[in-house]
Amino acid sequence: MKPTEYLKNVGIDIFQPGHNSYKLASTGFMDLTVETWQSDKSTFVSMCHYGEQNGDLMKDPDVLFKLEQEIITYKEIQMDYTGYYSEEHAEIKDFMENTWINNLVMQGQKLYEKDIEQ
């Protein structure tokens, strides 16, 4: 499943103007934070889980992608717990569409907070 389809299914309009943030939760799992913003003719989306290690917030994972005319370009993935970082589109696409989005669906993440820029 594409992340755009997943986000729409959970009630997030990634094309909402402004720099917006959303929080989703599911009992027993880390909350999911989603941020969206526009620049020129592109929409950017950041999705990440935050956890804590030795008092520091850690991202696991943090994925950034860009949409231009409904074409997704995966820009980067960062996993603070393992020190992993990649800008390889195909690798990030595989992770997002074949692993992480499926996990989020199975976890049953539900939208509980919106901060919409007015």
Kindly report, residue by residue over 30-63, the tens digit of the pLDDT. Answer: 899 999 999 999 999 999 998 777 888 778 899 9
Global pTM value: 0.92
Bond preceding residue 17 cis, omega within 30 of 0 = no
**N-term to C-term CA, the chain:** 30
Per-residue pLDDT, averaged over 108-113, amounts to: 96
Q: Which residues, at least 6 apart from 13, have a Cβ–Cβ distance to it below 8 Å? A: none
Asked if residue 116 has pLDDT above 80, the reply is yes
Rounded to an integer, what distance in angstroms lies between the CA atom of residue 98 and that of residue 92? Answer: 10
Structure tokens at 74: 């995966």
Q: What is the pLDDT of residue 52?
A: 75
What pLDDT, on a 0 to 100 scale, did the predictor assign at position 18?
94
| pLDDT tens-place string over residues 49-106 | 987 778 887 788 999 999 998 899 999 999 888 889 999 999 999 999 999 999 999 9
**Nearest to residue 21, comparing CAs of 39, 5, 37, 34?**
34
Of the pLDDT bands very low, low, confident and very high (cuts 50, 70, 90), residue 7 is very high
Burial of 18 (0-12, 13-18, 19+ CB in 10 A): exposed
